[in-house]
Amino acid sequence: MAYGDYNGADKPNKGHEGGACNRTRCQCEPAVWYNHGSMSWYCEDCARDIGQDSFNLRDWKLNYEPRRGHPMFETRTMMNQRVNTLLAVIDVQKNDYIAEVGYREYECLVALVNDGTVKTLTQLAEYGIDTGT
Ligand SMILES: [Zn+2]
């Protein structure tokens, strides 16, 4: 199965981590690449197609990567490595942090720290991020 081969109804796990690819005409499993633009999960082939599309790639590199500091598509392993590195810098336990403030703030934290300007708990607090201290 490849993009364009699927013509059925949306699968219940469409776009979910480990589920069916978010592309309607694909929906291959497993979806192991997270798209930070659409905030959904894609299969290997579609992640490559979308991520390497010249328009998408240029838009991401110009408008998002400088601020977000990561590629458009990442696997869970890549995100975990990135977050673990960053959280080691600010000395916060990742799981405690997510449990306390939720996934949205955790993504926000990662983006802020990745831009290279936010490194201390005090600075994070200035962005309205509760670091539990
Ligand atoms: Zn796909």
Average pLDDT by consecutive 10-residue portion of the chain (133 residues)? 84 97 96 94 96 93 85 90 70 61 66 53 55 50
CA nearest neighbour of 77 among 32, 122, 39, 31: 32
What is the predicted pLDDT for the residue at 46?
96
- 15 and 45 in a single domain? The answer is yes
Ligand 1 center to residue 52 CA distance, Å?
14
Quote the pLDDT of residue 126.
56
Please give the pLDDT value at position 133: 45
- Domain membership of residue 120 as a residue range: 76-126
> How far apart are the CA of 2 and the centre of ligand 1, in A?
7
**Domain annotation covers residue 37:** yes
pLDDT at 44: 96
pTM over 0.75: no
Task: Assess contact for 6 and 27: CB atoms under 8 A.
Answer: yes
Q: What are phi and psi of 14, to 5 degrees?
A: -60, 125
Q: Residue 20 C-alpha to ligand 1 middle, in angstroms?
A: 8
DSSP string, 61-123: HHHTHHHH-S-SEE-HHHHHHHHHHHHHHHT--HHHHHHHH-HHHHHHHHHHHHTTS--SHHH
Asked if 54 and 93 sit in the same domain, the reply is no
Q: Tell me, in angstroms, the distance from the centre of ligand 1 to residue 71's CA.
A: 18
Q: Looking at the domain assignment, is residue 66 inside a domain?
A: yes
